């Protein structure tokens, strides 16, 4: 049997296989990208490829011709796969070389100047305020800008008929939800969660229905302060704030308290500081008074403490609220609040 010559059908199939192999090798060699190479692979080695179909047709051969033909088909398949692999490396190498040429840096071209960013003056001032108060043992607390009316008003001893609740002054989302009008809502939030002693500052963005001009904006920033402990007095408030102002603006700056009224403090005061422009002599900025208003403050109202679960017979506290935008304007001599929000790079580069 082994010495018998291939049948006529086997000889024809060998010729067909030789033609398939020759075409496949030529097409693979001419492929210049991965897509063309994949087309060739599928055309000859895919499930419906020419070599696969040829392999299936071997069932028509006499049994004695099948081993030889199977060997020839496997050899043809190995040659095609080997050339596919070689051509793939050739294509990838060519692509890498092309990419390197495109990415080549011309060191004779002048470089581009990279401008370094700097902190916004509001951020710089807030960082300085945090540093001062953290040095005095305060922690920094933040809260939601979309606030319950209860925390924004009721918990701060501001009843429903109070003028501060007027829709002309406050942005209402629903009857019970507002854009916070101050950072004070985080005072009762903090007192509900924390037992005295409490020493916190609360910075954040706040909203009021104001027209935009040099000194007003519907969006601005505040820094709230709260201290609650046994034996806290108005003298502690005065000493703390005086130290803060001297740290922020200089030892030559003095402060004074004027009687005022806030629903959530009693007694209440407005705190003024020596005009940073004229040093207290009187000028256009301070309206010839020599003083500039810095903050509202006072001793935390007993009703606010009691509502938050703190015994007003045992504990007392003080609170203050400052406009971060005004403090920034004072510190850097900025005369228009709108400049802080316009993001004009020519203005911001000065800081």
- pLDDT (tens digit, 9 = 90+) per residue, 112-143? 888 777 889 999 999 999 999 999 999 999 99
pLDDT of residue 259: 93
Other residues' Cβ atoms within 10 Å of the Cβ of residue 270: 17
| Residues facing residue 222 across a β-bridge | 204, 323
Interior angle at CA 307, CA 305 and CA 309, nearest 5: 70
Burial class from Cβ neighbours inside 10 Å (0-12, 13-18, 19+) for residue 4 reads exposed
Q: How far apart are CA 331 and CA 314, in angstroms?
A: 39
Asked if residue 220 is part of any domain, the answer here is yes
Residues 259 and 190 both lie in one domain: yes
pLDDT of residue 151: 93
The lowest-confidence range among 209-218, 225-234, 257-266 is: 209-218
CATH number at residue 173: 3.30.930.10
Q: pLDDT at position 318, please?
A: 95
134 and 92 inside one domain: no
Higher-confidence residue of 6 and 341: namely: 341
Structure tokens that stand for 141 in this block = 């607390």
Asked if residue 1 belongs to a domain, the reply is no
Beta strands 291-300 and 255-262 are unpaired
- Say if strands 139-140 and 316-323 run parallel, antiparallel, or are unpaired: unpaired
Confidence tier at 9 by pLDDT (50, 70, 90) = low
Tokens 């994949």 appear where? 38
Q: pLDDT-based confidence at 3, cuts 50/70/90?
A: very low
Q: How confident is the model at residue 20 (pLDDT cuts 50, 70, 90)?
A: confident
Mean pLDDT of the chain: 86
If asked whether residues 134 and 192 sit together in one domain, one would say yes
Phi, psi torsion values for 345, nearest 5 degrees: -65, -30
Are residues 128 and 92 both part of a single domain? no
Per-residue pLDDT of 304-330, as tens digits, reads: 999 999 999 999 999 999 999 988 888
Order the strands of the 255-262 sheet from edge to edge: 139-140, 198-207, 219-229, 316-323, 291-300, 265-274, 255-262
pLDDT confidence bin for 231, thresholds 50/70/90: very high
Same domain flag for 21 and 158: no
The band of 340, judged by pLDDT with boundaries at 50, 70 and 90, is confident
Give yes or no: residues 36 and 144 share one domain: no
The number of helix segments (H) and strand segments (E) in the chain equals 11, 9
Task: Establish if 110 belongs to a structural domain.
Answer: no
Could you tell me if residue 28 is inside a domain? Answer: yes
Domain contains 114: no
Helix axes 121-135, 324-332, angle to 10 degrees: 100
Give me the pLDDT at residue 1, please: 37
Same domain? 305 vs 190? yes
- The neighbour count for residue 7, using CB atoms within 10 Å, is 13
Q: Quick one: 95 and 127 in the same domain? A: no
* 68, 103, 138 - which closes a domain: 103
Q: Tell me: do 157 and 280 sit in the same domain.
A: yes
Q: How far apart (Å, rounded) are the C-alpha atoms in residues 75 and 21?
A: 10
Q: Is 3 a domain residue?
A: no
Q: Is residue 70 part of a domain?
A: yes
Q: Is 27 exposed, middle or buried (0-12, 13-18, 19+ CB in 10 A)?
A: middle
91 and 131, same domain (yes or no): no
Q: Is residue 233 exposed (0-12), middle (13-18) or buried (19+ Cβ within 10 Å)?
A: exposed
Would the pLDDT of 295 be above 80? yes
Residue 196 in any domain: the answer is yes
The answer on 99 and 139 residing in a single domain is no
For every residue of 107-124, DSSP letters joined together read TTSPPPPPPPP---HHHH
pLDDT at 148: 93
pLDDT digits (tens, 9 = 90+) for 185-212: 999 999 999 999 999 999 999 998 888 8
Dist CA 212 CA 216 (whole Å): 5
Helix (H) or strand (E) segment spanning residue 22: helix 8-30
Average pLDDT over residues 240-263: 90
In the numeric block, the tokens 């703390």 are attached to 240
**Half-sphere exposure for 210 (CA within 13 Å, toward CB):** 14
Give the pLDDT of residue 238.
93
Q: Is 81 exposed, middle or buried (0-12, 13-18, 19+ CB in 10 A)?
A: middle
d(CA 249, CA 277): 11
Span 135-188, pLDDT tens digits:
999 999 999 999 999 999 999 988 888 777 776 678 999 989 999 999 999 999
- End of a domain among 74, 103, 132? 103
**What does pTM read for this prediction?**
0.64
Verify that 150 and 96 share a domain, yes or no.
no
Structural domains counted in the chain: 2
Amino acid 137: pLDDT: 93
Domain, as residue range, for 199: 121-348
Question: Which of 103, 136, 155 represents a domain boundary (last residue)?
Answer: 103
pLDDT of amino acid 197: 94
């Amino acid at each position: 049997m082994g010495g018998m010559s291939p049948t006529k059908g086997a000889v024809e199939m060998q010729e067909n296989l030789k033609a398939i192999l020759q075409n496949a090798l030529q097409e693979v060699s001419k492929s210049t990208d991965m897509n063309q190479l994949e087309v060739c692979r599928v055309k000859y080695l895919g499930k419906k490829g020419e070599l696969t179909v040829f392999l299936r047709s071997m069932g028509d051969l006499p049994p004695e011709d099948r081993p030889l033909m199977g060997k020839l088909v496997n050899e043809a398949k190995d040659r095609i796969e080997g050339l596919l692999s070689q051509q793939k490396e050739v294509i990838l190498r060519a692509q890498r070389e092309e990419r390197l040429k495109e990415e080549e840096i011309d060191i004779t071209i002048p470089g581009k100047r990279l401008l370094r960013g700097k902190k916004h003056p509001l951020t710089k001032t807030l960082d300085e305020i945090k540093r001062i108060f953290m040095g005095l043992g305060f922690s920094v607390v933040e809260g939601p800008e979309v606030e319950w009316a209860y925390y924004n008003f009721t918990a701060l001893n501001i009843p429903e008929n109070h003028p501060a609740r007027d829709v002309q002054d406050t942005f209402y989302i629903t009857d019970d939800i507002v854009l916070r009008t101050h950072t004070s809502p985080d005072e009762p939030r903090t007192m509900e969660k924390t037992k005295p002693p409490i020493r916190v500052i609360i910075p954040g963005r706040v909203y009021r229905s104001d027209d935009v001009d040099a000194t007003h904006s519907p969006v601005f920033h505040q820094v709230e302060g709260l201290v609650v402990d046994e034996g806290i007095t108005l003298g502690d408030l005065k000493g703390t704030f005086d130290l803060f102002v001297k740290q922020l603006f200089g030892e030559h700056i003095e402060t004074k308290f004027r009687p005022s009224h806030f629903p959530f403090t009693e007694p209440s005061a407005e705190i003024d500081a020596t005009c940073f422009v004229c040093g207290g002599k009187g000028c256009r900025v301070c309206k010839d008074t020599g003083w500039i208003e810095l903050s509202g403050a006072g001793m935390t109202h007993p009703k606010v403490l009691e509502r938050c679960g703190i015994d007003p017979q045992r504990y007392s506290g003080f609170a203050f609220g400052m406009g971060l935008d005004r403090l920034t304007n004072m510190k850097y001599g900025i005369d228009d609040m709108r400049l802080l929000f316009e993001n004009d790079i020519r203005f911001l580069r000065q800081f």
